[in-house]
Amino acid sequence: MTLLLDTSVLIAIEKKEAHIKEKLNQIRKQHQTIPAISLITYTEMITGYKKREIKNQEKAIGFLNNFTFLPATKETATILANLKYTYDQKGNTPSLADLFIAAQAKEHHLTLITKDKDFERIDEIDKIILA
């Protein structure tokens, strides 16, 4: 497992954004394992399904089950606390959700795939920001 997909990428896949799907397919050719999603991404996607009142919830959740789910651990919490402290000291703190995703990427040595440019400022992780 080497890739961690952010919520923004899953939404792009669901919206059938061809250029994102194409870029993701190119990246996945280099990483043959099943991509992972974080607890935050899973939560954000489920919340989105509920807000949009998706009729076929089982099918929507089935989409999420195509990915490896990363649960939170004490190590996640420790990394998250360190990241939050570091960015609080800089006066440039990303959202707690973004820091949580970054903590899981760091903990599991994953490359984050995202469309969210807010991750540009998180230097502690490997990332690919899709445009």
The confidence score (pLDDT) of residue 32 equals: 81
Domain count across the chain: 1
pLDDT band at 1 (very low <50, low <70, confident <90, very high): low
Residue 44 lies in a domain: yes
Residue 28 lies in a domain: yes
Amino acid at 37: I
pLDDT band at 28 (very low <50, low <70, confident <90, very high): confident
Residue 110 lies in a domain: yes
Q: pLDDT tens, 71-109? A: 999 999 999 999 999 999 999 899 999 999 999 999 999
Domain encompassing residue 36: 11-129
Q: Order of strands across the sheet with 36-38? A: 68-70, 36-38, 3-5, 111-114, 126-129
Residue 1 lies in a domain: no
The confidence score (pLDDT) of residue 30 equals: 87
Residue 2 lies in a domain: no
This prediction has a pTM of 0.91
pLDDT score of 49 more than 70:
yes
CATH number of 37's domain: 3.40.50.1010
Residue 29 lies in a domain: yes
